[in-house]
Structure 1
Amino acid sequence: MVQRIDVHSHFLPERYRAALAAAGHSKPSGMPAIPEWNVNEHLEMMDRNQIGSAILSVSAPGVHFGDNAAARDLARYVNEEGAKVAQDNPHRFGMFATLPLPDVDSALRELDYAFDTLKADGVVLESNFHGIYLGDARFDPVFEELNRRHAKVFIHPTNPHCPCCQVQPKGEDAASLPPIGYPFPMIEFMFETTRTVFNLLLSGTLDRFPNVQIIVPHAGATIPVLADRVAGLSPALGLPAKLDASKFMASLRGMYYDLAGFPLPRQLKALLEIADPKHILYGSDYPYTPEALVSTLATQLDDSAQLTTALRADFMRNNALTLFPRFA
């Protein structure tokens, strides 16, 4: 079996789990509970599912719960914990560093520390930070530094920041649900990813910072379905830099996409309409996706008639090695 490289894999060190609960996220994004996590169980799960290496990241809702100083401290803690796991298991784990955005000055300091001292493999950016999406000019200093470093940026969706998603559910289970009434990962995460990626393109951010290598989660979310519509309408926006359909689609093709979630039987077909097959990567979404489902989804990919043997090897491992050759 090909030893998969998992670019969408999360970790929850103990103090981070406690901080989530203290900030009111004991049922993060409407999910039933904060997952349990430890290094040994993660390694055992990897061994059972032919995962040779995994790059750890913090999932939604990140580390900034309203206080800049607390977010700086929590980002430093999770980054040092992630780096320690990677240093103790250099062939098995990597780490995407967390930044305490929207505090840009602190994020720049943490970015330097994460790359220069902790030797992070890249950074994880939530789809929005308190309503500021990634293409916002306020984040340009961060993207400028990421561009200078030719950094890998793993985008992860977080809770939506829009009025239509803030309707409070009713009924006896209301307290356990997010405002929209069902877990955000079910539907809203897909639109969060789509919104922030299109924002990066329409704002010209990726044009200005072309060295940043973007990894889009969940098989491109709804991007493959909406790409033609957004590309077709973008010339009518009067953008400062011309963005016609061919340039728009070329930008999407230049990104990387992980297969976490439910890419089969339909979503992968749509993804392959816009993505470079050499830019598709494996992702488990463990431990937010429990091992039983990780195994089921991986088996679907292993057995799918949509994938040739060569494509499967590329998606599971080879493509990731072009981004992260240290796992060879």
Structure 2
Amino acid sequence: MSPSAHRIDVHQHVVPAFYRDELATAGIADAGGRALPDWRPESALRLMDLLGITTSIVSVSTPGTGFLTDPAKAADLARRLNDHSAALASDHAGRFGFFATLPMPDADASAAEAVRALHDLRADGVTLLANNRGTYLGEDDQDALWQTLNDRGAVVFVHPAQLPVPPVDGIPAFAADFLLDTTRAAYLLVRNGIPRRYPDIRFILSHAGGFVPYSSHRMALTIANDTARSPLDVLDDFRSFYFDTALSSSPAALPTLLAFARPGHVLFGSDWPFAPTPAGQYFANGLDDNVAPDTLKAVNRTNAEALFPRLAATSPTPPPALPAPVRLRQAAQRTAARLVFKLLQPSTD
């Protein structure tokens, strides 16, 4: 991976100390089966410099505010998280943006916080979990939120959550269930006509859309049979989504994603810090080594610039000059990561 790639990372997370404390009070020590990682701005910037990321649009991962059953407390936590992310973006101008946290499943309160975050805090969009305490995106009674977001041409970053079913021993949620959770939300959004009724919302699906690219035709035929719509129209709705590459730019997954997604609809994602630095390096190498230069440039930056025009209005902020020992250490890390990536690819026999 090139340190001068000027990537825009649309899938990076923040875990503020006060949020960890709230989760600990509720007895929550992990997200999707992965222990809550340590997070600090300085650590995020080091990762960004290593992967050639100039700007990260950060978000709060599962469980968001959904673990709080008191609507007022959930709305208050969402406000505090958004104020924190806005301050992070202000303190590190050019390096961070943010997707606002909304207190779902309360659609009305979420619409109100979306207005505040998008207007007052200058959020780049909003984060919505695929399901909130078992209520999926695309179900009934969410129109107030969709209309609010559509009126503002908002970007919606869809991130998976715990499936509303008992876990299976030996299968961490982040390894498999997260992909199904995103796919369920995408299916319902398309099945219930949300992308067509609210065409000015731009949805980004995490982790290459879960199973969406791979199973799109199967799902489209099912929805067409259920709704009497044209399968081609249903497929077009699935292709209206944007997709990030977090944990997904492997030689197996990436060609399917690029074959399915509309041109301009694939964006770089790292999933740091829930995906540790070696994982970020592994999948960044998968992107660097498996696509043509023009496609790589688009995925790294220009597709995101089209989605977030403010990032195209100014030249990428160059990272600060690093001491020689740090540069040498990062170069060694990149070389080692490229070697590991090549060694782990399956034989073509």
TM-score under structure 2 length normalisation: 0.85
Give the distance between the partners of 1:270 and 1:302, measured in 2 at CA.
Answer: 16
Pairs within 5 Å for 1:218-297: 218-237=207-226, 239=227, 242-297=228-283
Structure 2 equivalent of residue 171 of structure 1: none
Contact 1:277 1:311 in 2 (8 A): no
State yes or no: 1:80 paired with 2:69: no
Shift, 1:253, TM fit: 1.9
Contact 1:64 1:70 in 2 (8 A): no
Shift, 1:219, TM fit: 1.3
State yes or no: 1:315 paired with 2:318: no
Shift, 1:136, TM fit: 0.9
Q: Which amino acid aligns with 2:287?
A: L
Pairs within 5 Å for 1:167-186: 180-186=169-175
RMSD (CA atoms): 1.3
Which digits, 9 at most, give the CA deviation of each residue in 1:198-217, with x for residues without a partner? 10000111111111001011
State yes or no: 1:303 paired with 2:292: no
Shift, 1:325, TM fit: 2.1
Q: Which amino acid aligns with 1:93?
A: F
Shift, 1:181, TM fit: 4.2
Shift, 1:112, TM fit: 1.3
Shift, 1:179, TM fit: 5.8
Give the distance between the partners of 2:149 and 2:275, measured in 1 at CA.
Answer: 29
Give the distance between the partners of 2:169 and 2:164, measured in 1 at CA.
Answer: 11
Partner SS for 1:125: strand
State yes or no: 1:106 paired with 2:109: yes
Shift, 1:107, TM fit: 1.2
Pairs within 5 Å for 1:126-141: 126-141=129-144
Shift, 1:293, TM fit: 1.7
Structure 2 equivalent of residue 157 of structure 1: 160
Give the distance between the partners of 1:161 and 1:61, measured in 2 at CA.
Answer: 12
Structure 2 equivalent of residue 146 of structure 1: 149
Shift, 1:161, TM fit: 1.1
Partner SS for 1:184: coil
Length, aligned pairs only: 308
Summarize the Cα distance change of 1:273–1:299 in structure 2 as closer, same or farther, 3 Å threshold: closer
Partner SS for 1:288: coil
Shift, 1:233, TM fit: 2.2
Structure 2 equivalent of residue 216 of structure 1: 205
Give the distance between the partners of 2:111 and 2:221, measured in 1 at CA.
Answer: 36
Give the distance between the partners of 1:308 and 1:193, measured in 2 at CA.
Answer: 28
Contact 1:234 1:244 in 2 (8 A): no
Contact 2:266 2:299 in 1 (8 A): yes
Aligned partner of 2:73 among 63, 70, 74: 70
TM-score under structure 1 length normalisation: 0.91
Contact 1:278 1:314 in 2 (8 A): yes
State yes or no: 1:46 paired with 2:35: no
Which digits, 9 at most, give the CA deviation of each residue in 1:111-135, with x for residues without a partner? 1110111111000000011111110
Give the distance between the partners of 1:191 and 1:180, measured in 2 at CA.
Answer: 17
Which runs of 5 or more residues in structure 1 are unaligned? 167-177
Which digits, 9 at most, give the CA deviation of each residue in 1:254-300, with x for residues without a partner? 22110001331111121123211311000000000111221222122
Moved segments of 4+, more than 3 Å: 178-181
Contact 2:8 2:53 in 1 (8 A): yes
Partner SS for 2:138: coil
Partner SS for 2:208: helix
Structure 2 equivalent of residue 97 of structure 1: 100
Structure 1 equivalent of residue 60 of structure 2: 58
State yes or no: 1:327 paired with 2:317: no
Contact 1:249 1:274 in 2 (8 A): no
Shift, 1:9, TM fit: 0.5
Summarize the Cα distance change of 1:46–1:230 in structure 2 as closer, same or farther, 3 Å threshold: same
Contact 2:224 2:234 in 1 (8 A): no
Compare 186-195 and 251-260 and name the one that shifted more.
251-260
Structure 2 equivalent of residue 203 of structure 1: 192
Summarize the Cα distance change of 1:296–1:233 in structure 2 as closer, same or farther, 3 Å threshold: closer
Identity of aligned residues (%): 39
